[in-house]
Structure 1
Amino acid sequence: MFILVLLIIVVAILICIAYKLYNYALNPNSSKKGIFNSNNKNELRKEDLWINDFNDKSSVYINTFDNLRLHAYEIKENKSNKWAITVHGYTTNAEYMSSIAYKYYTLGYNVIMPDLRGHGKSEGHYIGMGWHDRLDIIKWIEYILNEDKNAQILLHGISMGAATVMMVSGEELPKNVKVIIEDCGYTGAKEQLAYKLKNMFKLPSFPLLNICNIIAKIKAKYFISEASAINQIKKSNTPTLFIHGDKDKFVPFYMLNELYDACNAYKDKLIINNAGHAKCEKVDSDLYWEKVIKFIAKFMK
């Protein structure tokens, strides 16, 4: 009897810890802040703030498969069939992709800058870790094609946004989607959370992540283990450029080669020396854009 009571207590404690893990990792309203934002205003460049000062952007909306209303900024100034969808990372928002959107705009692209579900001005009570977000990005692709049936579309994501666009790549996509740029994406949500449990909290992934997986299915309607960028990229036919900073301590650098090796589509990779997480474009903007522009020129005509 004592052993049974002890077992019940241990299970209850584990469930409580796993629920706290779910709340910390997947609840967009928890107390964590935008972990990729710079605290030093002196590090901000004019392009990092461009979208805030750009008056000719429009707020546009889509409805998702589960009846959420999602927001994006649309910049449609260029007489062009080229479109870029810029996808932000974990706990940030569309504005975080300002410098990326600015560059594509100067290159003659129309731009869609979504707020992912649970972020920015979009509805949602959980963070999708790229899984449900992949279906939302497909909705944004459909939105573009309703405006421009001849659109040539590229996807450019950073961090969770990079994982998202890789997860998109495993779906059946219209031929209008020409190229993907993924910058410091993780192999999968399960692997990423396991890494952070060990790295940040010195906790084992088993059994906490297994219990959290079930809680996520109940509350967010997906298993964390489903959100696998590496499984999706294996099915991809879309040319993909993989980018990572060699000093990334948030999404570990070793994930770059795991993803690159798993991809069977046309591919290339770029390593930015001395760049931490989501800092590649800031650390060496010239090299970053030289590589990106050369890569996409093969497919965006």
Structure 2
Amino acid sequence: MKKKFWKITLGTLIVLLVGADLGGAYYLFNFAFKKGGYSSRGSDASETSTQRWARQQKQERWTQTSFDGLKMKARYYPAPQPTKKTIVVVHGYGDNSLTVGQYSQLFHEAGYNVLTPDGRAAGMSQGKYLGYGWQDRDDLAWWIKQVQKRQGPQGEIGLYGLSMGAAEVMYYLGLKVPKQVKFAITDCGYASIKGELQHELQSLFHLPSFPLLPTANLFAKTIAHYDFYAADTKKTLRQNRIPLFIIHGTKDDFVPTKHARINYDNNHGPKKLWLVSGAKHAQSYQMQPQKYRQKVIQWTQKYFQNEVKNHGTN
């Protein structure tokens, strides 16, 4: 009788634990991945002057259809003077092509064409679930093909990514990168989706990653159709030969600064690391605006061919 009782009790406990894991993981998946979840925090904030610049500046709307049938859109800002040099600016988690206006403006005022795509489930683009940079790397590849088509073989392309957009750029560098892509700049990007979610589980909920993350990944593979465990710069940057400039704040508590050092060590191409003292997440430009402009424009001038020095470094 006792043996039967303990079997029933153990079975009930297992069912409860499995149910709790499934429920918690499904909540985590919707909280972190679904449009309207945590990524929408602060979406009702007042428009900034650089967002107004991004909205009001003379621009074209570009479109493409993703590999899985989503209608994707981007803003293209032609340079003040004709040029075949273009910077693709990739926004971060919870952001869109307008909220990265300060970076678009920085490169545009330096004399470059600027393309700012809206990622999956962001801005003008379709999608129910965020790609965390992993699915998005294929979308980025198609945007780059559009730039190539417009500029021709003489065109030159630079990549800039912020936060999730930085991870997207570093994941993209593991693909077959065309020769027109001359360099990349990434600011506060994470090395792996798994590592970033582990940090957020601990930071926001004070929870261990096991078994929630493996189960959440099952939902990601089933519903969002990608394996976030596969996303890691250890795999992608070891194949990279594009010059990479990594920027990160030393007080970043959203994507810990250790990710910058991991990404730097993972990269096998030409590289540079700048840790901005005292800067929190995505605040390096605000912390040191003049030095930031100077360093990123010097990087573009170093790797764009026949570059003309201009007012962008002031």
Q: Same fold (TM over 0.5)?
A: yes
Question: Is this contact kept in 2: 1:49–1:99, CA < 8 A?
Answer: no
Structure 1 match to 2:96? 93
Structure 2 match to 1:146? 149
Question: Is this contact kept in 2: 1:270–1:291, CA < 8 A?
Answer: no
Once residues 136 and 15 of structure 1 are traced to their aligned partners in structure 2, the CA distance between those partners, rounded to angstroms, is 31
Matched letter for residue 75 of structure 2: Y
Unaligned runs of 5+ in 2: 1-7, 306-314
Out of 123, 126, 147, the residue aligned to residue 126 of structure 2 is 123
Length, aligned pairs only:
296
Once residues 141 and 228 of structure 2 are traced to their aligned partners in structure 1, the CA distance between those partners, rounded to angstroms, is 20
Structure 2 match to 1:292? 296
Are positions 1:62 and 2:64 aligned together? yes
Pairs within 5 Å for 1:194-205: 194-205=198-209
Out of 265, 270, 283, the residue aligned to residue 279 of structure 1 is 283
Question: Is this contact kept in 1: 2:32–2:38, CA < 8 A?
Answer: no
Pairs within 5 Å for 1:17-96: 17-30=24-37, 33-34=40-41, 44=48, 46-54=49-57, 56-77=58-79, 78-96=81-99
* Cα 1:97/1:118, change in 2 over 3 Å: same
State the percentage of identical aligned residues: 32
Once residues 289 and 261 of structure 1 are traced to their aligned partners in structure 2, the CA distance between those partners, rounded to angstroms, is 25
- Which segments of structure 1 move beyond 4 Å, counting only runs of 4 or more? 37-41
- Tell me, what secondary structure is at the counterpart of 2:89? strand
Structure 1 match to 2:114? 111
Give TM-score scaled by structure 1 length.
Answer: 0.94
Are positions 1:132 and 2:132 aligned together? no
* Cα 1:182/1:31, change in 2 over 3 Å: closer
Matched letter for residue 77 of structure 2: I
Question: Is this contact kept in 2: 1:93–1:115, CA < 8 A?
Answer: yes
Give TM-score scaled by structure 2 length.
Answer: 0.90
Once residues 280 and 234 of structure 2 are traced to their aligned partners in structure 1, the CA distance between those partners, rounded to angstroms, is 22
- Tell me, what secondary structure is at the counterpart of 2:116? strand
Out of 169, 178, 181, the residue aligned to residue 182 of structure 2 is 178
Structure 2 match to 1:16? 23
* Cα 1:196/1:145, change in 2 over 3 Å: same
Out of 255, 267, 273, the residue aligned to residue 263 of structure 1 is 267
* Cα 1:34/1:58, change in 2 over 3 Å: farther
Structure 1 match to 2:213? 209
Tell me the C-alpha RMSD between the 2 structures: 1.6
Out of 5, 10, 14, the residue aligned to residue 12 of structure 2 is 5
Once residues 32 and 138 of structure 1 are traced to their aligned partners in structure 2, the CA distance between those partners, rounded to angstroms, is 24
Matched letter for residue 16 of structure 1: G
